[in-house]
A and B are shown apart, each in its own frame.
Chain A
Amino acid sequence: MTSLPSSPTPKKLGLVIDLDVCVGCHACVVNCKEWNTGGYGSALSDQDPYGADVSGAWLNRVHSFEVVPEGGEIVGEAGDARIVHFPKSCLHCEDAPCVTVCPTGASYKRADDGIVLVDEDMCIGCGLCAWACPYGAREMDLAAGVMKKCTLCIDRIYNETFEEADRQPACVRTCPANARHFGDLADPASAVSIMVAERGGIDLMPEQGTRPVNKYLPPRARKPLAASTDAPPREDTSGATGLFAWLDKMLDRI
């Protein structure tokens, strides 16, 4: 059934991504692909995998943006431009437009934990859900003809054969910079909720009315580069005597 759960889900499992910490190494991208190509549903296929025009389905991608403060086009005029690495995967929206447009019932949002999933055996591969998602979180698997998306590694997080530390999405587990966090955003006492509250976590494209569960922590304010080092000390000639004092005086006059 592609109607959304009628009441807010008791749990809102999701990710919190710290844009201040992400170094853009793409480890989460690779581990996501590695885990999900062998896990839930059909493999994540690549087309022309060893050719010049390789492409494939990925559930998590890292974009890099350049943010220029107003008046900052000229170096030193205003704040410095900065690069922000930006990992992007499904935000498991509360009002997920991808779910309601699905004609077959393949797309659904779980009523207990809010995870948005695709039942690949019911998906006809029409692609309308990918059109409905403003975030580009869904990609068609061209080999299987079904829509693929982030499952929040549902086959890891509830997997009791794993050690506790491994019951996390692959992207979170692998992040070497600890920029990705997984937890229940419906629980105000959870580590992720506290993090969001303290750092002013934000929604992406709130104007689309999707109410994403995943939150992004904006980069912390940064001092301008020039302010982070002391200016080189000015040459001081007050202690000069004799010939050097005379030279200093003469050269000052020129």
Chain B
Amino acid sequence: MHPAPSIIAFTTLSGLGYGLAVMLGLGLLDPAAIATKIAWVAALAAIGGGLLSSTLHLGNPQRAWRAFSQWRSSWLSREGVMAVVTFIPLLMTAWACVIEGRQAVVPGLIGTVLSLCTVFCTAMIYASLESVDAWHTRLTPACYLLFSLAGGAVAASFFAFCGSGNAKWLPVVAIVALVAAWIVKRGWRQRMRVVAPLSTPETATGLGSIGSVRLFERPHMTENYLTREMGFRVARKHAAKLWIIATVLGGVVPFVLLALLLAAGAQAGPGAALVAGLALASHVVGVLAERWLFFAEARHAVMNYYGG
């Protein structure tokens, strides 16, 4: 599948933003601290920026409002509705923290639940497609949720070392979430590599009863929308390297840096904040690479008609 930069940015940023909103909504950071107020702004900016980015790949973005209408059948519509609904408790909790310096407990908890629901809807857009074997599994929403939580916990750790308090526990949460996310992701990728394709050129053409089927001629000499959108192969060549880059930057580096901070018993301060900031930056880059692979490595059933 074609890894559209706007979609990669959207899923990464909004996942991170919702994860951070979960940590903030649970009240894990001191609502009176300046760093927590900045964290709220950052979370909302990541969510909003991600959602705006997702409209960039639309052919007619001026009609995007129509996407709120079909929540009964469409996960994409559900995601849009949930994103808007989630903003209400998030803005209430953010207002309480940023303006009044207090934790709004009930809106915070509602925002936490709705944030996770929104991430789940995002993942289900992909997981619901039977035409893409790699995505059509419960592990897909599990990965999205765990990466959102891991990103949120790493970001919250950064803000904790910036002075939001709880610098003892948040890195532990982050480390646990990172390990869980990458274990499940590894299982997801292992499944992708071994799962038998649901459809083959034989079933796609119905000619399997005669013999084995291979493409003789494409319908046109040049590429078309389908081969560009579903037949993306550039990253497959470098998939093994990209996977290592993703796991090292997205998992190992933040794990080691946060563990070092814990082992050193680091308190909030510029040095610790810098290290935690590095962990966060590395994690985001790693997840971007992971998202790139999520799209680029996934094979679509239509390619059975295109010899690849």
**Given known A-B contacts A64-B217, A86-B205, A128-B76, A142 and B211 have beta carbons under 8 A apart:** no
Is the pair A103, B76 in contact by a Cβ cutoff of 8 Å? yes
Interface size on A (CB < 8 Å)? 72
Is the pair B225, A142 in contact by a Cβ cutoff of 8 Å? yes
**Given known A-B contacts A64-B216, A205-B301, A103 and B224 have beta carbons under 8 A apart:** no
Is the pair B206, A204 in contact by a Cβ cutoff of 8 Å? yes
Is the pair B213, A131 in contact by a Cβ cutoff of 8 Å? no
Interface size on B (CB < 8 Å)? 59
* Of B23-31, B196-204, B272-280, the one with at least 4 CB within 8 A of chain A: B196-204
Is the pair B59, A144 in contact by a Cβ cutoff of 8 Å? yes
Residues of A within 8 A of B306 (CB): 63, 136
Taken together as a complex, chains A and B put the C-alpha atoms of A82 and B129 apart, in Å, by 33
Cβ < 8 Å to B, chain A residues 42-72: 53-58, 61-70, 72
Residues of B within 8 A of A141 (CB): 59
Cβ < 8 Å to A, chain B residues 204-255: 204-207, 209-220, 222-226, 229-230
Is the pair B203, A126 in contact by a Cβ cutoff of 8 Å? no
B219 is contacted by which of A63, A134, A202, A209 (Cβ under 8 Å)? A63
B302 close to chain A: CB less than 8 A = yes
Per-residue 0/1 for B146-181: is the Cβ within 8 Å of any A Cβ (1 yes, 0 no)? 000000000000000000000000000000000000
Residues of A within 8 A of B100 (CB): none
Q: How far is the CB of A103 from chain B (nearest CB, A)?
A: 4
Is the pair A55, B130 in contact by a Cβ cutoff of 8 Å? no
Cβ < 8 Å to A, chain B residues 48-78: 57-61, 63-64, 66-70, 72-77
Among B198, B203, B230: residue with most chain A CB under 10 A: B203
Taken together as a complex, chains A and B put the C-alpha atoms of A3 and B77 apart, in Å, by 12
Cβ < 8 Å to A, chain B residues 255-308: 300-302, 304-306
Is the pair A126, B210 in contact by a Cβ cutoff of 8 Å? no
Residues of B within 8 A of A10 (CB): none
B96 close to chain A: CB less than 8 A = no
Is the pair B129, A63 in contact by a Cβ cutoff of 8 Å? no
Is the pair A68, B222 in contact by a Cβ cutoff of 8 Å? no
Is the pair B225, A84 in contact by a Cβ cutoff of 8 Å? no
Q: Which residue of A lies closest to B204 (CB)?
A: A205
Residues of A within 8 A of B67 (CB): 103-104, 124, 126
Is the pair B212, A67 in contact by a Cβ cutoff of 8 Å? yes
A34 close to chain B: CB less than 8 A = no
Is the pair B305, A63 in contact by a Cβ cutoff of 8 Å? yes
**A/B interface sample: 7 pairs, CB < 8 A:** A3-B73, A61-B220, A65-B207, A68-B214, A83-B216, A124-B64, A207-B198
